[in-house]
Amino acid sequence: MSTPAEERPAGRPRTVVVPDLALVVLIGVSGSGKSTFARRHFRATQVVSSDSCRGLVADDENDQSATPAAFDLLHHIAGVRLRAGRLTVVDATNVKREDRASLVALAREHDVLPVAVVLDVPEGECLARNAARPDRDLPPEVVRRQRTDLRRGLRGLGREGFRKVHVLDGTEEVERAVVTYEKQYNDRREDTGPFDVVGDVHGCRAELEDLLGELGYELRRDEHGRPVDAEHPAGRRAVFVGDLVDRGPDSPGVLRLVMGMVAAGHALCVPGNHEAKLVRALRGRDVQVTHGLERTLAQLEGEDDGFRRRVEEFCHGLVSHYVLDGGALVVAHAGLKESLQGRSSARVRAFALYGDTTGETDEFGLPVRYPWAKEYRGRATVLYGHTPVPTPEWVNDTLCLDTGCVFGGRLTALRYPERELVSVAARETYYEPARPFLPEGEAAPATGTRRRDDVLDVEDVLGKRVVETRLAGRVTVREESAAAAIEVMSRFAVAPEQLLHLPPTMSPSATSTRPGLLEHPAEAFAYFRTEGVAEVVCQEKHMGSRAVALVRRDRSGALHTRTGRSFFGPGLTAAFLGRLGTAAEEAGLFEELDSEWLLLDAELLPWSVKAADLVRNQYATVGAAARTALPVAVAALEQAAARGLEVADVLDRQRRRVADAEAFTQGYRRYCWPTDGLGGVSFAPFQLLASAGATHADRPHAWHLALADRLAAADPGLVRGTRSLPVDVTDPTSEAAATAWWEDLTAAGGEGMVVKPAAGPTRGRGGVVQPGLKVRGREYLRLVYGPDYTEPRHLDRLRQRSLGRKRGLALREYALGVEGLERLARGEPLWRVHECVFAVLALESEPVDPRL
């Protein structure tokens, strides 16, 4: 491993090769120049030194009594860095075997390679350097003892577990050494494909030929007609997930083809457990010749020694797993959890070959496999085989491609990055599985993926969280907000797989200063103009409740509120989804959008459906009190005035209050009507949030509204359209027309309108602009600010409202909402979608003026 200096040409610097993720352990006595070496070759932040740790825990770098605490700290820092995948250099004497052993253990614990760099500098030199340092008072015998320890351990470093050992001999070699990095074998991030990832072949050579043909590869054969290579005309490459051999009819044939492809650069291959066992068998180790190995060995009998030797070398040389495509793709035989990806250790190899097992065996005597994929939260797609499944199913962005070809199933490949499955049927059942692979009497199911309802973990939602969004960058959710949201989510919301979106809150327009008004369209138009948005669209608000409907073609789905509660019980929900699904079918939407489901943003009317208690306990109650008390007060004051008392002012005010109370009562009555089942219920969609593979956020609002109109035409009894008006905010005429439209709407008792950028998500001066501003009508606002809010003395004070928090919240929730929908459209795992949905709910618990 190391080369004595004198054997190399003088003057050439020693090269110290270090894997780019490693724990580098410097070894040398005091004064050997470790810190200088570390400073010269590594970034200061990569180096953890025992001296500085001593300083941190004891205010004195030379306080030997602080050594145990200092090493605790050193191990902790190194551990945190390694967990994060950062190269770490330990600057301590490390001359004792036990000190090194704990560092080797630390490296293994984090599945990185331990590397030893020994600075073997003559004793005299070290003593001289120590003497020159005023801060260090080290007796010479200490250095001598360290050197004895060092010498004793030098030979055994490899056996101690160091995967690379560099011994720098003498001052000059230390001085002149050069450190270079090498990639790990599993690191092929620069390789971006495209790939065709092939599941477990198990000696099914004929099916492999079929599959490669199906994938578009051209086979090359040797003089005996045996395939020895396959090349894709477009330069695609195959990636084999291992278990090429055993059980099937022609393992040597499969090996010959795959080895040829790998050698020609047309394929990559990771080892399976069957290759690992084959290597041991070929090397004459004592292995149980079972599970189909007997067939492979028998088949190899028919091959020559050279082939057998090449098979042994090939299988032995396979790298446990590959990290591909910039880290976005990981291929390993039995899969690989995130903490082990791109790492190197015996544990990584064991996981990659055998998967996660619980240590128990099932009723068929096979190891019980732990469903690591259900808990997988990594960012890389993981493709694997190992456990035969009837149909590949995406689970948290992982996919098992072993469809049991050798057991009479299919041989399957996934096109990456297209994510298309391609498979061929087994020509026959070559081997009977120990555990039923297909339900009895069933043929292998056709290809097709179905998403499984993934399991959610509290770590997906609890605690302080930062969600990366495309629109607004990092959005932070406070721990208290998450704690509040989990209760609502767990107890009241519909199931997460039905809860794909929660609508963001919306800010009102800036406060108007016009007499008698709190909100007016002018401020909304001015906002968008200032943000550089010319085209906006005004949409009427129906004064219903905000609703999100998920309707699937099979009429399943959900209809829920802003906080995820179902509007109706199961029976009425089913009736609703039946009607809505039928309307969508008749309008041809499923077909046109090529989707089995639609997610709609809407209002559900009447308001009293959701808010019956609120209307009765708050609105009607206030109206009743006002309409009972005020006329009596007016009558009493009129009597007093008739007596000549000075009550004109207060009488005038009470008369106005009578009118206000009447207007208030009319206000809430407009939004309440009795419903019977779905009778009287109205659904007003205004945006198609998502359908299979698409969010439609960038479509113009006119497109969404036209779609809503088609639904309304299909079932006018249930669905109603939303009136809208396009406005050019740089054109005063257009603006005036829109203002008049709003005035008409609100004068007729309408709630008001929402002004949105016509083009969908739009960037303005400081990032994304508000996706919509509501401009509420004067009468509607009585239900928000109280019956008498229009009194000038009240209105003046109410105008002092601060919109900043609300605006910020609206944008963050909007960014989360869009992010969640985009993740949904990309087919990301449920937890990734749920993270966004949950975050919106959590943000809603932040203290913001509820009247805005």
CA–CA dist 833, 817 (Å, integer):
9
Task: Using the rule CB under 8 A, give the single segment among 143-151, 328-336, 540-548, 782-790 that binds other proteins.
Answer: 782-790
Nearer to other proteins (CB atom), residue 72 or residue 479: 479
Q: What is the DSSP string of 220-272?
A: EE-TTS-EEEEE-TT--EEEE-S--SSSSS-HHHHHHHHHHHHHTTSEEE---
Cα–Cα dist 287/281, whole Å = 6
* Cβ–Cβ < 8 Å for 312, 283: yes
Give the DSSP letter of residue 596: S
406's tokens: 């050798």
> Is 235 or 792 the residue whose CB approaches other proteins more closely?
792
Pairing of strands 752-757, 763-764: unpaired
Give me the amino acid identity at 826: R
Q: Which of 24, 626, 708, 727 binds other proteins (CB under 8 A)?
A: 626
Q: Is 845 in the site for other proteins (CB under 8 A)?
A: no
Which 655-684 positions form the footprint of other proteins (CB under 8 A)? 661, 665, 669, 672, 674
Strand (E) or helix (H) holding 545: strand 545-552
Task: Give the pair of three-digit tokens for residue 253.
Answer: 């044939």
- The secondary element (H helix, E strand) that includes residue 17 is strand 15-19
- 676 class by beta-carbon count within 10 Å (0-12 exposed, 13-18 middle, 19+ buried): exposed
Mask for 296-335, x = binds other proteins (CB under 8 A) = ----------------------------------------
- 425 versus 620: smaller Cβ distance to other proteins: 620
Interface with other proteins, residue 243, by CB under 8 A: no
Q: Pick one of 532, 794, 802, 826: the residue that binds other proteins (CB under 8 A).
A: 794
Q: Which of 12, 159, 224, 643 binds other proteins (CB under 8 A)?
A: 643
Pick the closer one to other proteins by CB: 166 or 657: 657
Pick out residues in 496-535 that bind other proteins (CB under 8 A): 496
The residue from 77, 486, 526, 803 that contacts other proteins (CB under 8 A) is 486
Minimum CB distance to other proteins smaller for 88 or for 481? 481
Least spacing, CB of residue 646 vs other proteins, in Å: 5
CB of 560 to other proteins, least distance (A): 12
User: How many of the other CB atoms lie within 10 Å of CB of 563?
Assistant: 16
CB 451 to other proteins: min, Å: 16
Single residue of 289, 495, 702, 748 touching other proteins by CB under 8 A:
495
Distance CA 507, CA 727 (A): 19
Beta carbons within 10 angstroms of residue 44's beta carbon: 8
Residue with Cβ nearer other proteins (424 or 611): 611
Q: How far is the CB of 691 from other proteins (least distance, A)?
A: 23
Contact string (CB under 8 A) for other proteins, positions 737-776, x = contact: ----------------------------------------
Residues contacting residue 79 through CB under 8 Å, at least 6 positions apart: 106, 109, 110
- Of 39 and 653, which CB lies nearer to other proteins in the complex structure? 653
User: What DSSP line would sit under 653-699, residue for residue?
Assistant: HHHHHHHHHHHHHHHHHTT----BTTBT-EEEEEEEEEETTB--TTS
Q: Which of 144, 369, 653, 723 binds other proteins (CB under 8 A)?
A: 653
Q: How far is the CB of 376 from other proteins (least distance, A)?
A: 12
DSSP-assigned states of every residue in 90-153: EES---SHHHHHHHHHHHHHTT-EEEEEEEE--HHHHHHHHHH-TT----HHHHHHHHHHHHHH
Structure tokens at 424: 């061929």
CB of 16 to other proteins, least distance (A): 40
Of the listed pieces 52-60, 504-512, 752-760, 793-801, which binds other proteins according to CB under 8 A? 793-801
Output DSSP code: residue 566.
B
Task: Show Cβ contacts of residue 840 under 8 Å, excluding neighbours closer than 6 positions.
Answer: 502, 503, 504, 813, 816, 817, 820
Q: Which of 48, 373, 461, 755 binds other proteins (CB under 8 A)?
A: 461
- In the set 219, 328, 422, 455, which binds other proteins (CB under 8 A)? 455
Which position among 6, 286, 363, 442 is part of the footprint of other proteins (CB under 8 A)?
Answer: 363
CB 386 within 8 A of CB 335: yes
Q: Which of 58, 534, 678, 798 binds other proteins (CB under 8 A)?
A: 798
Binding residues for other proteins, rule CB under 8 A, total 64
Under the binding rule (CB under 8 A), the answer on residue 622 touching other proteins is yes
Binding flag, residue 632, other proteins (CB under 8 A):
yes
Q: How far apart are CA 69 and CA 436, in angstroms?
A: 56
Decide: helix, strand or coil at residue 47.
strand
Q: How far is the CB of 820 from other proteins (least distance, A)?
A: 17
Residues across the chain: 852
* Among residues 457, 586, 594, 652, the one that binds other proteins under rule CB under 8 A: 457
633 counts as binding other proteins under rule CB under 8 A:
yes
Tell me whether residue 428 or residue 459 sits nearer to other proteins (CB atom).
459
Q: Which two tokens stand for residue 811?
A: 């944008």
Query: Closest approach of Cβ 483 to other proteins, in Å?
Result: 5
Residues in touch with other proteins (CB under 8 A)? 360, 363, 375, 455-462, 483-484, 486-487, 489-491, 494-496, 616, 618-626, 628-630, 632-633, 635-637, 639-640, 643, 645-647, 650, 653-654, 661, 665, 669, 672, 674, 783-789, 794, 797-798, 851
